[in-house]
Amino acid sequence: MELKNITISDLKDIQTQHAVIVVSDGKMKLGQLPAYGNVNITCHEKKVKQVKEEQATKF
């Protein structure tokens, strides 16, 4: 999952998207959610350290 930097004014443009917004340490990033899978956020000392996507295929 690619996380892109966004600003508050960008939020109006994502109304029809399925996405996750992560806010940490004064930064805001947007990532598109996968069709199937899990998104894990790893935190350390109250800050986001890693966002990991585990994508799956429905059988």
Residue 37, pLDDT > 90, answer no
Residues 6+ apart with CB under 8 A from 53: 1, 31, 34, 37, 38, 39, 40
- Using the predicted structure, report yes or no on whether residue 15 has a pLDDT greater than 80: no
Domain ranges (residues) in the chain: 4-55
Q: Mean pLDDT across the stretch 11-27?
A: 85
